[in-house]
Structure 1
Amino acid sequence: MAERLYRYSDLLTTGLSREQVRRLVDLSRLHRLSRGIYAPSTDPAGRLPAIFRRLPDTAVVGMHTGAQLHGFGDARSPEVHIIVPAGESVPHIRGVVAHEAVLPVGEPVFLNGVPCAPPARCAVDLARSLRRMDAMPLLDLCLRVGACRPEDLRVEVARHKRLRGVCQARELVHRADPRAECRQESQLRLVLIDGGLPPPEPQMWVSDGNGIPLYRLDLGYRHHRVGVEYDGVSHLDRDRLRHDRSRINWLAANGWQMRHFTDLDLYRRPAHIIRTLSPLLSL
């Protein structure tokens, strides 16, 4: 259903004061699309039908907003991102970022009533433009939710040959893994790879002597019997802590060496992670 638009004068006739209108905009309960035109929405994606009434027919949703619509919006952005062919004239709309693309988008997918770039295109565009630590979780999530298959990403990244950032995108597409379960786990895996360590196995099950899976590790090196885990806020829960202690004791008794890292290690001292794990992997 198309979103209703309000003129400023219409809002005032409902009994709202100028100060109340400004307050609703500050609270993101109203969005000012252009001078004197407002739309009620708390989600940038919810404004799309109204926004597309003012855009050229060649425009499609893409980048951050496209990833969000396709279900893998790990790299969220408060703005609405659209893609238009290079040289296309686009009116200035508050909160809308237009990306001129020399590479044709292909057949759009209609979501929320508007044309959207295919999921592989959104994923590869972001993999080319985001920082590595932001792009890796997004590609993992894209595969995890089933928005793309690995071959879809490989085909799409091949189309971006010679475009800026394609080397990074090509490498990360090759590394993407749907088994990763959270952003920090994807980033920790990338830190290990960038630090020269072998790629770890995500969400690796450890079995007992009868081959029955008992415990699952965030990341693991089965041959070396080394486990790597990211400890976030959830690990401070009392019940979770009891389970973790029982798990850690069993793993240690069965020859596993576990190493745990936090946000401090991941974001401020990644070299410490590599120094800690290298001796355990005989590197």
Structure 2
Amino acid sequence: MTDAPPADLDRLRAAVRVLPPAAVLTHHTAAMLYGFGVVPADALHVTVPAGTSLPQRRGIAAHGAVLPFADVRDVLGLRCLGPARCAVDLARQLGRLDALAVLDAALRVGACTAEDLADEVARHDGLRGVRQARDLVPLADPRARCRQESHLRLVLRDGLLPAPEPQLAVRDDKGRVHCHVDLGYAEERVGVVYAGDSHLDQPRHNWLETRGWRMRYFTDADLYADPEQLVQTVRAALYHPR
């Protein structure tokens, strides 16, 4: 369930011993243990029930609970709030791009379902940031393969473009799946790829081009420094075919 190295687990177990008995691991820390910790954090994140004094210790980010602990689980001997609760807490508090990346990852690893997330958002009604979480939960998709791909998909959506299909399967003339495109528009034959995490090699790129696909590749600089130009590039490929 977790990719955490043994040293990190030992550090967590040592830190938990100095926390109030009712404290549970949450946010980035619990997400890492559940396997969807795509947004790292240096601090250990814990939540304590309402009315409990927040621990004041270096390296520990303590949160006071507003909602009751309806779902507490044992993960490798560590008490964590349920995965849907952790994902929604992060979706309320992180920036918009990373919030979607967390939701995508939670679904990808099977930590929770789309229905779990929707139910959890309903429980957070009225809390700070819930509007963002409510907007993003329906967009979460387990097919996103990395944090940047989630970011790229949301940038396109926020740029008022049609939603691309993650990991779109492209078939050859015999109907067999030849390759997958990170983000694809099947009807328009436009592929959008985060170049920093692309699994498309040059032969596959050439194969797609010979079949009328227009492939557009983007780096971190495109995605984070000039997202408006990124959107314009994809829009041109969609609506101004060669």
Amino acid at match of 1:188: L
Amino acid at match of 1:248: H
Amino acid at match of 2:51: G
The answer for the alignment partner of 1:272 in structure 2 is 229
| Mapped partners of 1:217, 1:227: distance in 2 | 6
Percent identical residues:
54
The answer for the alignment partner of 2:216 in structure 1 is 259
Give ranges in structure 2 of 5+ residues lacking alignment.
1-5
| Mapped partners of 1:62, 1:210: distance in 2 | 49
Q: Are the aligned partners of 1:137 and 1:186 in contact in 2 as well (CA < 8 Å)?
A: yes
The answer for the alignment partner of 2:163 in structure 1 is 199
Cα deviations by residue, 1:250-271 (Å, 9 ceiling, x for unpaired): 2122111111111110110001
Q: Please state how far the C-alpha of 1:52 moved relative to its aligned partner.
A: 3.0
Q: Superposed, which structure 2 residues align to 1:162-241 within 5 Å?
A: 162-232=126-196
Match of 2:160, SS state, is: coil
| TM-score normalized by the length of structure 1 | 0.78
Q: Superposed, which structure 2 residues align to 1:1-283 within 5 Å?
A: 42-43=7-8, 45-232=9-196, 244-282=201-239
Q: Are the aligned partners of 1:180 and 1:202 in contact in 2 as well (CA < 8 Å)?
A: yes
Q: Which has the higher contact order (CA 8 A, sep 6+)?
A: 2
Give ranges in structure 1 of 5+ residues lacking alignment.
1-40
| Mapped partners of 1:91, 1:278: distance in 2 | 50
Match of 2:231, SS state, is: helix
| Mapped partners of 1:101, 1:123: distance in 2 | 15
Q: Please state how far the C-alpha of 1:47 moved relative to its aligned partner.
A: 2.8
Q: Please state how far the C-alpha of 1:103 moved relative to its aligned partner.
A: 1.0
Match of 2:61, SS state, is: strand
Q: Please state how far the C-alpha of 1:189 moved relative to its aligned partner.
A: 0.6
Cα deviations by residue, 1:158-177 (Å, 9 ceiling, x for unpaired): 11001111111111111111
Q: Are the aligned partners of 1:120 and 1:152 in contact in 2 as well (CA < 8 Å)?
A: yes
| TM-score normalized by the length of structure 2 | 0.91
Cα deviations by residue, 1:47-97 (Å, 9 ceiling, x for unpaired): 333333333232111011110111111111111111112331133222111
Larger Rg: 1
Q: Please state how far the C-alpha of 1:42 moved relative to its aligned partner.
A: 4.2
| Mapped partners of 1:51, 1:279: distance in 2 | 53
Cα deviations by residue, 1:182-241 (Å, 9 ceiling, x for unpaired): 111111111101111111000011111221111210100011111111111x66xxxx8x
Amino acid at match of 2:50: A
Number of aligned residues: 235
